[in-house]
Chains A and B, each alone.
Chain A
């Protein structure tokens, strides 16, 4: 069967994908289709039953599910064709997408594609955790969808592992559902997400242990206990009926990994230029697929920007990518990743993404430096922690005018 032809296909109906679709429609793109594998659009916020979502988009503080419904409704109202229960299974060259829905296989030929498949947490297996493999070991995403989508709980007295923002949101979910965590532990010396979150477990009477990691998970068929190893080498047994591994976000980049598109091992998502464009220029990407991890609001804004850029590209108004005039950006010392991974010259001002997005692996104070060869383009003393994003505006920089490499990293 001949593939259905459309102008823009968006893969993933979360905040980033819906925003990209809305922006493309607003910029005059005719046939915009969102392909979403779940029965409803909205992405992760569908099962984050707590505020604050939606301030930037609606000037209101909403819960996740309400926010998800509002952005999906906004997309439909702007003429976006949202197709739920559509799973994209393969990315073909030049925007040819293999999908399947309840009826069978479908092929779409899209002039442009925006990838917006989001991010998820690292499961226990990939963390290489020690112990039995009983029931009751989950990530926050599973907990939240159980509680908010099905009204069920997988445990009543879990140990929570991690102190990222999402870990505190897990505590909120637990509280809502009548779950009483027995402890919160983190291998680091202090909480990853700080005030005001970090005071929050204590207020609820949940003991928090830093410098502590899971040494053993025991139980059959359900979790019965967790052994925790503390920084001083001591081991403690916590009786519990579950383990919640929170955070450790990774982009949901499996489609990219199995396609010819280049993947950035640092950010974990596709390599993009300042227009959000992948190494096959029919593909763009936005949202938490690009990196772990930003808020819904950030993903929405990024989706809006990339949707508009894809529309401009359809109108022939983006510079064509050209290896001869591409700056590769190398994230160096202290950095977890740098985004975008390449810049297509000439730099045309803040047309594209708002500059270089950087994150550090661990808290660092030093001279953040950008070098082109031996030439220093930027230097500033910064003190930053891993949960904070750094943005370096590229606009004022005296970028080279030929292909090359920009080295970004900390000195001193």
Chain B
């Protein structure tokens, strides 16, 4: 690590990207593939420390995005590129499709508009279906459903392996990832940026701000002011037992309101079913707490949508914070004089749009006038598969010990996640890379073994020390 730090300090990068969320990881990948000498600075011990660690994991088609918006363009481009590259990176798609379900007459009245908007957005295969077709497709759905709009291309992906694959492709093609490197001050001398970070100084000819939930703060560091203010909007989720996966094929979306896409019931790529997210405004950018009352409400809501979920065991609960601003749209702006691109307010579609945003940002960068030669034959790393519908490591011959029984995580998957070009930096990072500890028992059976296997490897250890044998 110190070696990298020294090198980073001595080097002048073409571009420094601040923030290792899904957007920063995708931007780092794009700049690296385009031949720029790239560094990504993340203040946390691992990537995905902000908005990107807790989302609904839907690969959006853009059917409901504002027509003509930059968001729509990035979602469409991101979707297309994801489908094109995912196989080569070891990523996959759980092809669920989605149905926007109307439960009241007022909602039924809105369906036509949803179809029209989808078509205007170029998502042509979207169509209205009646209750019979919906219930034939989803027999476990509550028969109270009145009608729906079917969005055949709206699918489910792996929200954690995806950014990991992006940053790994960047790093394995020469980018530098600095973690525990929070940017604390920045100065521009007319040609170069000097970024003071908690891991030392980094110099770069251009800066991209992908700080997500802290975007306005970092914009202020760079430019003296921010064009927007981040107002975190929390979304809580409940994840049901894998036994629930058989209840549902299609993602069930609500008819959206002005403010939010609303609560969905969806399968996850890991074989569970989730319900969420809520939309709760808050000031705190760090605390994404869950609360008992809301979780109970979500379970109630899930049970009204799919009655079989009403007494399904709960596996996990989580919450994520959307980096919302005072406006709905993405806040992407370029300052060619100071060679800064600000990528702010990537609120609720960033997982899908990241690759599209990265292309758009690179386009803005080209206007700065610096040209690089794209890497002719880039390395395509393959990330470990965590998707339940594809073969997992435990099924492979000779895959050895199982450490986490609920998620069937092998010892060698743990070992691999702790080494390699982008090893897990903390316990959350290890969970997101392997699923260890994320199953039904939540560590009842595997914590001890994991504490031993991860000793000295994570920023904050699972065990605080040895047991002092007392009386």
Which residues from chain A sit less than 8 Å from chain B, CB to CB? 37, 39, 47, 85, 87, 89, 100, 102-105, 120-121, 123-126, 128-133, 135, 138-139, 141-142, 145-147, 149-156, 175-178, 216, 220-222, 241, 250, 252, 254, 257-258, 265
Q: How far is the CB of A241 from chain B (nearest CB, A)?
A: 7
- In the complex, what's the smallest C-beta–C-beta distance from B2 to chain A, in angstroms? 23
In B341-395, which residues have CB < 8 Å from any A CB?
A: 394-395
Q: How far is the CB of A397 from chain B (nearest CB, A)?
A: 32
Q: Are A154 and B462 in contact (CB under 8 A)?
A: yes
Known A152-B452, A221-B459; judge A138-B468 contact (CB<8 A): no
Say whether B444 contacts A141, CB under 8 Å.
yes
Q: Which of B24-32, B115-123, B310-318 contacts A (4 or more CB under 8 A)?
A: B310-318
11 A-B pairs whose Cβ atoms sit less than 8 Å apart in the complex: A89-B408, A130-B289, A130-B292, A152-B448, A152-B467, A153-B464, A153-B465, A155-B464, A177-B470, A221-B427, A241-B464
B400 contacts the other chain (CB 8 A): yes
Determine if A154 and B405 form an interchain contact, defined as CB atoms under 8 angstroms apart.
Answer: no
**Cβ of A156 to closest chain B Cβ, rounded Å:** 6
Knowing A89-B408, A133-B318 touch, does A177 contact B286 (C-beta < 8 A)? no
Q: Which residues of B contact A (CB under 8 A)?
A: 238, 241-243, 286-293, 295-296, 299, 311, 313-318, 394-402, 405-406, 408, 426-427, 440-445, 447-449, 451-452, 459-460, 462-471
Question: Is there contact, CB below 8 Å, between B397 and A103?
Answer: yes
Q: Are A126 and B395 in contact (CB under 8 A)?
A: no
CB neighbours (8 Å) of A124 from chain B are 442
The reply to whether A257 and B398 contact each other, CB–CB distance below 8 Å, is: no
A-side contacts of B462, CB under 8 Å:
135, 154
Q: Is the CB of B243 within 8 A of A128?
A: no
Q: With A and B bound together, what is the CA distance between A241 and B464 in angstroms?
A: 10
A residues less than 8 Å from B313 (CB atoms):
126, 250
Closest to B394 in A: A100
Asked if A87 contacts B405 (CB within 8 A), the reply is yes
Give every chain B residue within 8 A of A147 (Cβ-Cβ).
Answer: 467
Task: Determine if B464 and A257 form an interchain contact, defined as CB atoms under 8 angstroms apart.
Answer: no
Tell me which of A139, A222, A254 has the highest count of chain B C-beta atoms within 10 A of its own C-beta: A254
**Chain A: CB-nearest residue to B244:** A257
A100 to chain B: which residues have CB within 8 Å?
394-395, 402, 408
Residues of A within 8 A of B316 (CB): 125
Provide the residues of chain A in CB contact with B468, threshold 8 Å: 177-178
List of B residues within 8 angstroms of A153 by Cβ: 463-467
CA distance A257 to B315 in the complex (A): 14
Q: Is the CB of A151 within 8 A of B443?
A: no
Q: Cβ of A154 and Cβ of B464 under 8 Å apart?
A: yes
- On whether A85 and B401 interact (CB within 8 A), knowing A123-B444, A152-B451, A154-B462, the answer reads yes
Q: Which residues of B contact A133 (CB under 8 A)?
A: 290, 318
Task: Choose one: B396, B406, B426; the contact of A104 (CB below 8 Å).
Answer: B396
Contact A177–B469 (Cβ < 8 Å): yes
Given A100-B394, A142-B443, A150-B451, A125-B317 contact (CB < 8 Å): yes
Which 5 pairs of residues, A with B, have the shortest CB-CB distance?
A: A178-B468, A123-B442, A152-B463, A177-B467, A145-B448
When the two chains form their complex, are residues A130 and B291 in contact, meaning their CB atoms are under 8 A apart?
yes
> CA separation between A139 and B447, bound complex, in Å?
10
Q: Is the CB of B317 within 8 A of A154?
A: no
Is B427 in contact with A135, judged by CB distance below 8 angstroms? yes
Assembled-state Cα–Cα distance A257/B406 (Å): 13
Smallest Cβ-Cβ distance to B428: which chain A residue: A221
Residues of A within 8 A of B286 (CB): 220
Q: Does the CB pair B448–A257 fall under 8 Å?
A: no
B296-A128 in contact (CB<8A): yes
Q: How far apart are the CA atoms of A216 and B397 in the complex, in Å? A: 45
CB <8 Å contact, A126 and B315? yes
Chain B residues positioned under 8 Å from A139 (CB to CB): 442-444
Q: A152 contacts which of B299, B314, B440, B466 (Cβ < 8 Å)? A: B466
Other A-B contacts than A123-B441, A142-B443, A145-B449, 8 sampled, CB-CB below 8 A, are A87-B408, A102-B399, A123-B444, A130-B293, A132-B288, A153-B466, A176-B471, A258-B243
Query: In the complex, how many angstroms separate the beta carbon of A204 from the nearest chain B beta carbon?
Result: 11
Contacts of B471 in A (CB 8 A): 175-176
Q: Give which listed residue, A102, A149, A152, contacts B400 with CB less than 8 A.
A: A102
Contact, CB under 8 Å: A132 / B287:
yes
**Beta-carbon contact of B401 and A105 below 8 Å:** no
Which B-chain residue is minimally distant from A140 (CB atoms)?
A: B444
In the assembled complex, the CB of A394 is this many whole angstroms from the nearest CB of chain B, namely 29
Instruction: Give the CA-CA distance A131 to B284 in the complex, in Å.
Output: 13
Write out the residue numbers on chain B whose beta carbons fall within 8 Å of the beta carbon of A104.
Answer: 395-399
Contact present for A221 and B460 (CB under 8 Å):
yes
Q: Quick one: which of A37, A105, A129 contacts B395, CB cutoff 8 A?
A: A105
Give Cα distance in the complex from A123 to B426, angstroms.
21
Q: What is the bound-complex CA distance between A125 and B298, given in angstroms? A: 14
Task: Using known A-B contacts A130-B290, A142-B444, A221-B460, determine if residue A151 contacts B396 with beta carbons closer than 8 Å.
Answer: no
Q: Please give, as numbers and ranges, the residues of chain A lying within 8 Å of B427 by CB-CB distance.
A: 135, 221
Q: Which residue in chain A gives the minimum CB-CB distance to B45?
A: A221
Q: For B317, give its contact among A47, A128, A177 (CB under 8 Å).
A: A128
Give Cα A39 to B401, complex, Å: 9
CA distance A60 to B53 in the complex (A): 52
* Alpha-carbon separation in the docked complex, A47 to B447 (Å): 13
Give bound CA distance, A135 to B444, whole Å.
14
Question: Is the pair A123, B290 in contact by a Cβ cutoff of 8 Å?
Answer: no
Instruction: Return the chain A residue nearest B298 by Cβ.
Output: A128
Assembly CA distance A133 to B426 (angstroms): 14
Asked if B442 and A156 make an inter-chain contact with CB atoms under 8 angstroms apart, the answer reads no
Contact B317 A102 (CB under 8 A): no
Complex: A14 Cα to B368 Cα, angstroms? 68
Contact (Cβ within 8 A) B447 A138: yes
Residues of B within 8 A of A216 (CB): 289
**Cα–Cα distance between A250 and B313 once the two chains are bound (Å):** 10
A87 and B460 alpha carbons, distance in the complex (Å) = 31
Complex: chain B residue closest to A265, CB-CB = B311
Asked if B398 and A103 sit within 8 Å, CB to CB, the answer is yes
Closest Cβ of chain A: how far from B102's Cβ, in Å?
29
Q: In the docked arrangement, what's the CA distance between A199 and B9, Å?
A: 61
| Complex Cα spacing A138 to B442, Å | 8
Give A24 to B218 CA distance when docked, in angstroms: 69
Distance in angstroms between the alpha carbons of A47 and B317 in the assembled complex: 28
Partner of B398, one of A102, A149, A221: A102
Known contacts: A135-B427, A150-B448. The answer to whether A258 contacts B460 by CB under 8 A is no
* Assembly CA distance A120 to B439 (angstroms): 13
Residues in B whose Cβ lies below 8 Å from that of A155: 464
**Bound form: Cα–Cα A156–B402 in Å:** 29
Contacts of A141 in B (CB 8 A): 444-445
Are the C-beta atoms of B314 and A126 separated by less than 8 Å?
yes
> Complex Cα distance A120/B315, Å?
13
CA A123 to CA B317, docked complex, whole Å: 11
A175 — which chain B residues lie within 8 A by C-beta? 470-471
Known: A85-B401, A128-B295, A175-B471. A150 touches B463 (CB 8 A): yes
- By a CB distance below 8 angstroms, the chain B residues around A87 are 394, 402, 405, 408
